[in-house]
Structure 1
Amino acid sequence: MKNIRKSMIANVGMMAAVAAVGSVGLTGCATAAGTSGNDALKIGVTVANSTNPFFQQETKTAESYGKEVGAEVLSQVANEDVQTQSNQIDQFITAGVSFIVIDAADTDGVGPAVKRAINAGIPVIGVDNQSKNATVNITTDNTQAGEISCQSLADQLGGKGKVAILNGTPVSAVDDRVKGCKSVLEKYPDIEIVADQRGENSRDSALPIATDILTANPDIAGFFAINDPSAVGVQLAAQQKGVSIVITSVDGASSATDVIAAGGLITATAAQDPAALVRQAIDLGISITKGEEPKETLLLVPTELVDASNVAKYTPWD
């Protein structure tokens, strides 16, 4: 597993949200014929939603990389509904998949369905968010991502001022980012967290929440958003209110890095790599089906802060 970790760290950034094509029914993608040893390989993939670019990249990578390894990929999207995702896992079991890759809509909520898959002899690989009962989880080091993003926020504010956290859905990636952020901000007695509100990890969800926070706290100086789409929503709210604030986030998507490069309100993002995570998950799933048990059940991949100092050299994953 040390080699696994090294290969993952070699990729810039990592992990957290990317959606998919497909409805509740199973959707297969064409297989690459003739790949030695993998002709009967079938992979079930389910991600949290179809609107977040992170989840979109996960699904796209699973389908394309699945073809490369000669597998059939059954691709699903849960629309942020744990029951839908649990049903999808049950469908994968019925379909007799070789293993399942899941970006959970709810870390704990998917646990019973994941356990059913494990009991059926089907390995489950969690990516981005941890999935309870999974064989192994491969995620961004989300605590570290929150730490470096909020360290940047604190530095830019000179260690003082009112800030807010645009939180997200109850999954491990989100909770760990917020935990990492707060662990940094609590070191600054002159920084006050005036709001910590959950959204749905999207621009449209973040916009009204941020608007309400800005209205209640007109002297707010900064925001930490748990992902780049949420950061974009916060920026729109600030622009509509005519205020200048500092916004930092997590993801490394072009929606944030383009703003950073242009000198906008989003000033830093902790970069992940969803494609690298999914490729590693599939490689690990294949090795498990061949009888190679993972030595670790949780693999954490560190992120890299992208800000004005290095954005010109950074290539976003979307």
Structure 2
Amino acid sequence: MAIDVQKLHRTLAVPALAAGALVVLAGCATPAGGGSGDGAVKVGITVSNSTNPFFVAESRTAEETAKAAGAEVISQEAGEDVQTQSNQIDQFITSGVSFIVIDPVDSDGVGPAVKRAIDAGIPVIGIDSVTKNATVSITTNNTQAGEVSCVSLAEQLGGEGKIAILDGTPISAVADRVTGCKAALEDYPGIEIVAEQRGDNSRDKALPVATDILTANPDIDGVFAINDPTAAGVQLAAEQKGLDIIITSVDGAKSAVDVILAGGMITATAAQDPAALAKQGVETGLAILDGTDPESDLIELPTELIDADSAPDYTPWG
């Protein structure tokens, strides 16, 4: 499967970060379609956490998009706990929201709560990951992201070497990235995957996991990390071990792009756009209220490889 990463080009941008774990009430001007009991549209938003800049950017953009449409907004973060997020969905139902936008902690784990919302007549729009039982899911093409990131890793290694995969939480976005990576590596028989372990998509969790991998495999040449915070944890572990390895990832965050531009161990990241995902999620919910159903239950946005060649012309988020 030959993949021409240079053909994947898109300019991404995102607003500045905002704090998560909050409830925001906007004005009550009413767009056409749906709404709560008093006629106003009310939007429930829940994302995985308030520490990852990706989710913070999603939250802020979703809130801004909904408020610009005159909707009320109830915005929450789940602290990476599926039961907390399920409870938030139940609270949204009780509050009479018009629709829900969710970036799930666990793609399948939130399924029962999502179904309760659907059964209550409330559309649910999953963003970033495919969300079980959702009306529609809007994601980055995560399989493609994993493919282009691991093609870059393999090519930088000259098609030979030992690598590790640092996996993440049980969401479809993460699983698809790993699937795409492994599929791409089938074209590079000289690349050996010597370790694969899960983190929780964060720098702090990736650090000890990566340290264990590097301790057991001191001759490792590279690592595919499922997102940029994970890549940062891998880089720190390698620095502490006195190793110089190649790390590629997925996200396109400013923190990773800065390392790429500085010539650090993170050499490439497949970019995604949290603002675009969140904006389209809210706009899709509003369209559903107006009677326009999505053409498909899965909408995938393309990715772009950011490396030393493309980073100078790329506008990162975060």
TM-score under structure 2 length normalisation: 0.92
Q: Deviations over 1:255-274 (max 9, x none)?
A: 10000000000000000000
Shift in CA distance, 121/34, structure 1 to aligned 2, threshold 3 Å: closer
- What is the DSSP-based 3-state SS (H/G/I as helix, E as strand, rest coil) of the residue aligned with 1:237? helix
Size of the aligned set, in residue pairs, is: 304
Q: Which residue of 1 aligns with 2:311?
A: 311
Shift in CA distance, 11/88, structure 1 to aligned 2, threshold 3 Å: farther
Task: Verify the 8 A CA contact 2:30 2:41 in the aligned structure 1.
Answer: no
Letter of the 1:61 counterpart:
T
Q: Which residue of 2 aligns with 1:293?
A: 293
Shift in CA distance, 170/182, structure 1 to aligned 2, threshold 3 Å: same
Letter of the 1:22 counterpart:
A
Q: Deviations over 1:132-161 (max 9, x none)?
A: 000000000000000000000000000000
- What is the DSSP-based 3-state SS (H/G/I as helix, E as strand, rest coil) of the residue aligned with 1:188? coil
Gaps of 5+ in 2: 1-7, 34-38
Alpha-carbon distance in structure 2 between the residues aligned to 1:150 and 1:11: 19
Alpha-carbon distance in structure 2 between the residues aligned to 1:212 and 1:13: 35
- What is the DSSP-based 3-state SS (H/G/I as helix, E as strand, rest coil) of the residue aligned with 1:215? helix
Shift in CA distance, 196/19, structure 1 to aligned 2, threshold 3 Å: farther
Q: Which residue of 2 aligns with 1:43?
A: 43
Alpha-carbon distance in structure 1 between the residues aligned to 2:126 and 2:19: 16
Q: Deviations over 1:234-287 (max 9, x none)?
A: 000111111110000000001100000000000000000000111111111001
Task: Verify the 8 A CA contact 1:11 1:276 in the aligned structure 2.
Answer: no
Q: Which residue of 1 aligns with 2:26?
A: 30
Letter of the 2:247 counterpart:
I
Q: Which residue of 1 aligns with 2:74?
A: 74
Shift in CA distance, 75/11, structure 1 to aligned 2, threshold 3 Å: farther
Task: Verify the 8 A CA contact 1:29 1:63 in the aligned structure 2.
Answer: no
Q: Which residue of 2 aligns with 1:254?
A: 254
Shift in CA distance, 222/107, structure 1 to aligned 2, threshold 3 Å: same
Task: Verify the 8 A CA contact 2:12 2:317 in the aligned structure 1.
Answer: no
Which residues of 2 match residues 116-195 of structure 1 at below 5 A?
A: 116-195=116-195
Q: Deviations over 1:18-51 (max 9, x none)?
A: 996227xxx23333x6465477111000001111
Letter of the 1:215 counterpart:
T
Letter of the 1:213 counterpart:
I
TM-score under structure 1 length normalisation: 0.92
* C-alpha RMSD of matched pairs (Å): 1.9
Ranges of 4+ aligned residues in structure 1 off by more than 3 Å: 9-15, 33-39
Alpha-carbon distance in structure 1 between the residues aligned to 2:114 and 2:11: 29
- What is the DSSP-based 3-state SS (H/G/I as helix, E as strand, rest coil) of the residue aligned with 2:237? helix
Alpha-carbon distance in structure 2 between the residues aligned to 1:118 and 1:312: 44
- What is the DSSP-based 3-state SS (H/G/I as helix, E as strand, rest coil) of the residue aligned with 1:29? coil
Q: Deviations over 1:216-240 (max 9, x none)?
A: 0010000000000000000001111
Alpha-carbon distance in structure 2 between the residues aligned to 1:270 and 1:13: 12
